[in-house]
Structure 1
């Protein structure tokens, strides 16, 4: 029951494309997908997606104040080249945008809890990996990754107390990591189970913190002030993660698949020097370790056309919700298709994500307790994407 690649790789590609575009864990954007290494033959692929979040909430301190369209639209692109070599070896080069954030709160910072708060994170990564097949059933893969990040964060609004007006620029930083994994396959039924570990990557950002008026350390931390603008270096570790990709043919021209990702975000802390001293070691980001899962089915309708559908979820975390990611858990459904024409496959789809209700919190400067400041309910995101693959 070996399936034509139009019903296997093309459908898996459309599914992976939509899985990467919205509703991912924490700051994830691409899920660090490396399934290009499992494509048949030599393939070059280009993928593009656009996400339209609808994230709005209401300020608890002022019932008439609302935050409209806090999540900004964003795009995500990736490219890969995979080639077979001799003696069971193959290799791939993958370029993607693994992490990101585009958050901007409207409202007056003098009358709202979060008015004027923004967070922008941009990233890119280049991954070079190789695969060795011991036989038709077992293989291992490993590679190196070069990752580049930059970010700007502004804390604005009455909820931040003395931190109202604080901003930090984390200048572009590049650092290296690795990945390693293994796979089991039964080609006759298009079965594959592939597990991949992605290492944490530590960045040292050249940092500029700006505050008006200048920050003061609390008395219990020795007091003292900081200049209105402070340059320093901030170490930030992007999360280690595990990806499990499963698929199997269950009937002629029919494929089922599942993708599971776990990311350890609790070690991703952003504590620039002045902010850390003024808050007793707090982090600008507070993201729980979490997992997400999706399952789906693909069906080849003809030699040229195939379709797929999938559902998925991200588990809810605890109530420690950051204003820079005002959601808690996600559910989604996606549909897609692939059109195969000789050496070219065009695939794409659409995904609707229901974002979990959340009440973002900040730490009260007097009591030290986390206090909910706003409520975000009934939000969603729509993602569209397409990919073009050329086999040579």
Structure 2
């Protein structure tokens, strides 16, 4: 039952939180610590194809932005090993945040504007099994962040900024309660904020905070060969801001707006059901929801909340499993700052594959 429950939950990883709040791309991956087997290795690849466009209002009424978000990929790998009956070690690589925006060359105020944010995080975990039901875990995270932006602003002018990779440390803490007889597990994970430091074109320093987050994971058997699983994640995106001093004081930015910023704190929810059809095959259906906060969004975002629907199928053998998943995102409508464009009727499709090995 345990291997089946973990394979079903892997559906969340195969095409999971790749289009969640603000610039989030990967969520909490601490649950690899509970994978079956003395040694376990997994990797996953997700492709996301968004379609996000908006229409200008006021003096720019009717101007069409075109699709501003190219397709992108995220990658993940993790290794877990039992040290003894009490201690388990894991190391996980993720792309926790990211952005890729490109306005087409057409009659629109931000035409030809581009922005990119890249990240890579390496997290080492250690779990201590206090008894057969309670465990605690924690670890350190080394994270890199870099990006670039080229803004086309009306009237015609250009602002550009390119920052190199900045490496910073954060930490993770968590605990879990399990009842193995019914495949029940409740786990909560805290991820600390990580503050990166960059310099603008004039050499002035500014910080970019990737905010703290709390994730609650839950799963339980409900019938023979059937489980329900889900998660709730809170992240303090109101603390996120790219406020380069030379842009905040630029005369072409009279509102003193940052290059990018979070519009508020976000909750993201997932609920799924998994069923084992045979010894080798299982499947899962997943629904995700992120409520909008109704505030103005930046011109490098154009979205606010979502509802998602996903499905996955897993093939499980003695030493490995393969999960393939697909998820459709119905992206929430948004109104942008500066020119008040309306972004609506947008969506995204994510597909992914995850492979795990036990040895």
Tell me, yes or no, whether TM beats 0.5.
Answer: yes
User: When the two structures are aligned, how many residues end up with a matched partner?
Assistant: 353
What's 2:23 paired with?
Answer: 27
Of 128, 139, 149, which aligns to 1:132? 128
Q: Measure, in 1, the Cα distance between the counterparts of 2:224 and 2:189.
A: 29
Q: Which runs of 4+ in 1 moved over 6 A?
A: none
What's 2:300 paired with?
Answer: 324
Of 70, 74, 77, which aligns to 2:75? 77
Q: Measure, in 2, the Cα distance between the counterparts of 1:277 and 1:62.
A: 25
What's 1:285 paired with?
Answer: 260
2:330 paired with 1:354: yes
Of 86, 89, 98, which aligns to 1:88? 86
Aligned pair in 2 of structure 1 residues 306, 130: CA closer, same or farther (>3 Å)? same
- Tell me the CA shift for residue 63 of structure 1: 4.3
SS of residue paired to 2:181 = helix
Q: Measure, in 2, the Cα distance between the counterparts of 1:358 and 1:277.
A: 26
Q: Structure 1: any 5+ residue segments left out of the alignment?
A: 210-229, 363-370
TM-score, with length taken from structure 1: 0.87
RMSD value, Cα: 1.6
- Tell me the CA shift for residue 97 of structure 1: 0.5
Q: Measure, in 1, the Cα distance between the counterparts of 2:337 and 2:200.
A: 25
Is residue 179–residue 197 contact of structure 1 (8 Å, CA) maintained in 2?
yes
Is residue 13–residue 354 contact of structure 2 (8 Å, CA) maintained in 1?
no
TM-score, with length taken from structure 2: 0.94
Q: Measure, in 2, the Cα distance between the counterparts of 1:128 and 1:86.
A: 17
Is residue 112–residue 157 contact of structure 1 (8 Å, CA) maintained in 2?
no
Of 226, 235, 245, which aligns to 1:254? 226
What's 1:203 paired with?
Answer: 196
Q: Deviations over 1:137-156 (max 9, x none)?
A: 10000000000010111221
Is residue 14–residue 386 contact of structure 1 (8 Å, CA) maintained in 2?
no
Q: Structure 2: any 5+ residue segments left out of the alignment?
A: none
2:230 paired with 1:238: no
Q: Deviations over 1:44-95 (max 9, x none)?
A: 0010010000112222244453122211100001000001111410010000
Q: Measure, in 2, the Cα distance between the counterparts of 1:28 and 1:120.
A: 13
Of 10, 14, 17, which aligns to 1:17? 14
What's 1:382 paired with?
Answer: 349
What's 1:8 paired with?
Answer: 5
Is residue 79–residue 95 contact of structure 1 (8 Å, CA) maintained in 2?
yes
Aligned pair in 2 of structure 1 residues 243, 4: CA closer, same or farther (>3 Å)? closer
What's 1:263 paired with?
Answer: 235
What's 2:287 paired with?
Answer: 311
- Tell me the CA shift for residue 11 of structure 1: 1.0
Q: Measure, in 2, the Cα distance between the counterparts of 1:56 and 1:174.
A: 33
- Tell me the CA shift for residue 281 of structure 1: 6.1
SS of residue paired to 1:37 = helix
Is residue 48–residue 73 contact of structure 2 (8 Å, CA) maintained in 1?
yes
* 1:165-204 alignment, distance < 5 Å: 165-204=158-197
Q: Measure, in 1, the Cα distance between the counterparts of 2:53 and 2:163.
A: 27
Larger radius of gyration: 1
2:28 paired with 1:56: no
Q: Deviations over 1:174-220 (max 9, x none)?
A: 10000101111001111001000000011112x343xxxxxxxxxxx
Is residue 286–residue 320 contact of structure 1 (8 Å, CA) maintained in 2?
no
